[in-house]
Structures are given as C-alpha cells and as structure tokens.
Structure 1
C-alpha cells in the first residue's frame, strides 16, 4: 500500500511517498480503515519538524497524519461495538496516540478514536472535522458550558476550529464575536458571527467588553489581552497557552488549557449535531496524496479558510 512517511525530522525534503508498505495489523480494540480522505492540521507539519520529539520520541520511519474519513475493512472481533465492516467512519489515527498514521491508503487506529461518519458530509468534508470539531465541542459544551444569551469571543473565526465554534455557539444561542482578517469578514458573517473585529486594523480588547467566555487559538499577547474583555467570573479556554494564574486571579477569571481528546463519544455527539443542523465544513483546498509536502507547506505558510485535505 501507499503511505506518506518521514525517516527523520526536517522540512518538506524529508517527506517521501512509500509505495510498498506492509498493511498494518489489527490488535485487540483496533480497526483497519480504508482511508478515503485525510485532513491536514498544523500538528502534522510540527511532527515532521520535530516539535514533539522530547515529549514523544518517535521510531522512524513513521507515517504522518491524524484526521481521516474512510470505510472499515477489518476490526477486532473480540471487541463489542456497534460498528461493522463496510461502515463509513471518521476519526483519528495519529502515531502519537497509537495509530498507524492517516496519510496512507489503509490505517489502523483504536475503536475509541472513530465513530460513524456524519451522513450529511462527504468523505472529504468529514476528514477535515475530527480535530477541529471535537476541539470546538469540548471547549464550548464541556469546558465553558455555553448557553443562551452568553457572549463569547472566538479568535480566528475563519480557521478550522473557529468556523465550527461560531456555528456551534450560535446554535447554543450565544452572541458571538470573532477576530479575522478583513478579507474573511463576509465569510464569518455568513457563519453567524454577530460582531467581527479586523485584527489587522483594530484592537479587540478596546472594542469588546463584558464577555462571558473566550476561545483562544493564538496564544501569546492575544491570550493575555483576552482577559480584559471578560467579565468577572468569565472563562477563557486556550488551546495553546497554559493558564496564567496571576492574570486569572487579577481579573477573577477561570482559565483553562484544553488538550483536545478525540473519543468515540465526542465524535458521535458531534456527528449527530452536524447532521441535525446542516453545519458547514469549509474545505479550502485539496491535494492528492503524492503532494503531501505541498499540502503541509500550504497549511504552515497560509491562513486557510477552513481546512486542507488530502484525497486518496
């Protein structure tokens, strides 16, 4: 089978298409999936460049890729599950979490890391959903407990997490503000954003105030300035910054660092919500598997409106 692999850390030159990979074996609690499409995330080029080598040392060669959508080809018969061979599923198969990598024709992953694919989405659309969709769900529903009439600021509204978070927040009945570049204002307005801040010309912390919650996908100074827009007792969830206890105490804010955990339960709830509400998953660009190096560079160097996907 074909697979996108690296034999060392580095830039685009370390990526190779291996056309003679042995099909990975299914262990207890695992499933073999025929990958129809694979979503590209910033974590993919960061793994390539060795960002996590101290935390999680990898044994080369490894197959890159986390998100995917596909069809079950084989599963462990000793594991009780409602899924079966031939079912369309979506989820993750990252080597960081015990999978075989999703940038391949076939991938092995845990049964707990997949769920039935949203029926209203194509494989290409569904492959871009697992990480960003679960991130938005975990932040808004589980960590913030967002509800009707709450005010929330979502940074990076045109990005993968942002576009799902805006739609979910609106369905929950919240007033939504977001930060984007000027060329993405109309896009996030169509998603339902109520107040839009052009971060290239405006200071969001001078414009917004008395918000109940913030989702931070940027970190650094943006994270620190976000405390100013929150009311006392508000919540900030950051996907990139550890909690600043001094700022949290100063402003009376609950500060949470979110490590997104993709599970069958969350993927199932997300798929049900997607199908019930006809949620938009914007795919900006697709690349064929042999052009993975180009796809990772595009993800790293541009500001995609939504998701980048590899097609198989």
Structure 2
C-alpha cells in the first residue's frame, strides 16, 4: 500500500512517500480503508523524535494519528463493527499510521462516523475532539455556569474545545489574533483576547478551568486567572509524574518528568490550584458520544484546508506554520 514514512527521526530527514506492507489483522482488530486523515502538530513532533523515549516506535514508521474510512475486514473477536461500516478513529498511540491507504487497529478505538459529516470532516475530529473531551469533560468535569479559558482558540483543539465548553454551559474566554476574533465568537466564545496586544492575565480572574495548548510562560501565567481550587490542564507540557506512571515509564524518565514539572506544580500548589498534563488516548466510546454532538448540530467541524494524498509533506509543513484555522486534512481516497 502507499504510505508516508519516517525512516530516521529529525526534521531534516522528513517523510517519504513509499510502498509499505498491508497491515496484519489481529483478532481484536478492524482493517480500515482510509479515506481521509487529519494532520496534527503531534505528527511533526513524532517525526522529529520528540517522543522517542516514551513512545519507542520501530522505524520505518508510517506517520499519522487520526482517520475516517470504511471497514473492509474484521478480526475473529470483533462483535460491534462489520465490513462496510463508515468509521472514524484516533489510532492507539502504539499503532499509529494513518497517512496510508489502510490501517489495522483495535475495535475499541473506533466509532461509527458522524452521519452529518463527510469523510474529510470526520477525519478532522478524533485527536482534537478526544483531547478536548478528556480535558473538559473527563478531567475538569466542566459544569454549567463555570468559567473556562481556552488558549489558542483558532487552532484544531481550540475550535473544538470552545464549542464543547459552550455546549456544556460554561462561560468561555479564549486567546486569538484580532483577525480570528469573528470566528471565535461564531464558535461560542464569550470573551476573545488579542494575544498580540492584551495580557489575558490582566483581563481575566476567578476562572474554574484553563486548557493550555502553549506551555512555557503562557502556562505559568495561566495560574493567575484561576480561582482557588481551579484546574490547569496542559497539553503542551511539561509532563507530570502521574503521566509518567500512566505510561509505565522507566525510573529515569519518571525522575526527569518529576523535575521538569516541579516548578509549575509547586507554583500551582501555592495558589491551591491543580496542574495536570494530558496526553490524550484513543477511545471509541468517547468518539461515539462526540459523534452525537455533530449529528445534533451542537458542534461543527472547522477545516482550513484539504490536501491531496500526494501533498502530505506540504500539509505537514502548513500545519507547522501555526497559521491554520481549525484543522488540516489529507484526502486519501
């Protein structure tokens, strides 16, 4: 099958188009013919080797983390799905490879595609949708009447998270450029702060939740807007000891993550705020619930560009510019 492959880690090595063996089907797997794949900043980070210590992939590696497509075959233990089903999924972290014509993944990572969405629209959802769901619903337990700040509202995670938070009944603030303020309001943001001109920490206070996608100084400054007992959830790091435990990391990696996150955890404790790092996981049941939000028109997809399969390298480069509004998608079939 045709695929885009990483042979060696590092930006300068990039990815190549090539032929790879068809996936092997295990008894709990479904084999999916991929119609479209979402492109995420995570793809570049994996290509560059940023996760090679905690996600030790075997090279050559097919890149790509989320997809929409049609099931063509199922394993002997599969009961919920069948050939012909139109599905979408975030591939489990140890079995990625959606920049390809086919993929085999476990049934429990897969959900029926939202009926209201095209394959390209559905492929834009799994990674960002699960990230927002696991941050706001599962971890923050965001409730009606609470206040949430979502950084980088015009990005893939941001455009979904704003809509989800509004659907849950929260007051939503976000940071974005002035040029994207109109889009942020359309998606449901109550307050849009121009990150180039205004200091969000000087404008906002007594927030219940912050979802940070930036890390660094933005993460640290976010503590200032939270009320006592608030929750700061970061998806850009630094990883915390709980994440290391969940990953089953070796002792030296656990020690490294403890040190990396010590400063922000200490600062959070001083303010009686909870800091946690989120690396989202594949979850077909959650994707089924997310599909219902699209079919009821509670949330809509936001897609910046759709690239043809042969332009996968260009799609990845475009995402790396950080200028995409919403998601970038590769049309494979």
Shorter-chain TM-score tier: over 0.9
Query: Is the CA contact (8 Å cut-off) linking 1:92 and 1:109 kept in structure 2?
Result: no
The answer to whether structure 1 residue 205 and structure 2 residue 201 are counterparts is yes
Counterpart for residue 143 of structure 1: 139
In structure 1, the residue matched to 2:252 is: none
Residue 211 of structure 2 corresponds to which residue in structure 1?
Answer: 215
1:172 equivalent in alignment to 2:171? no
The secondary structure found in structure 2 opposite 1:277 is coil
Q: Which ranges of structure 1 fall in alignment gaps of 5 or more residues?
A: none
Hey, what does 2:267 align to over in structure 1? 247
2:113 maps to: 117
Matching residue of 1:82: 80
**Cα contact 2:91–2:282 (8 A) shared by 1:** no
| Unpaired segments ≥5 residues, structure 2 | 240-260
Shift of 1:10: 2.9
Kindly indicate whether the alpha-carbon contact (under 8 Å) linking 1:157 and 1:163 is maintained by their aligned counterparts in 2: yes
Mapped contact 1:157–1:188 kept (Cα < 8 A):
yes
Which residue number in structure 1 is paired with residue 94 of structure 2?
Answer: 97
The count of aligned residue pairs is 308
Retained in 2: the 8 A contact 1:164–1:281? yes
1:59-106, Cα deviation, whole Å (9 max, x unpaired): 222211110000000110223x22110000000236x4224x111111
Task: Name the CA distance, whole Å, in 2 between partners of 1:168 and 1:272.
Answer: 12
- 1:278, distance to aligned residue in structure 2 (A): 4.0
- Equivalent residues in 2 for 1:120-131 (5 A)? 120-131=116-127
Kept in 2, the 8 Å contact 1:159–1:306? The answer is: yes
- TM (norm. structure 2) is 0.89
SS in 2 for 1:209: coil
1:30 positional shift:
0.9
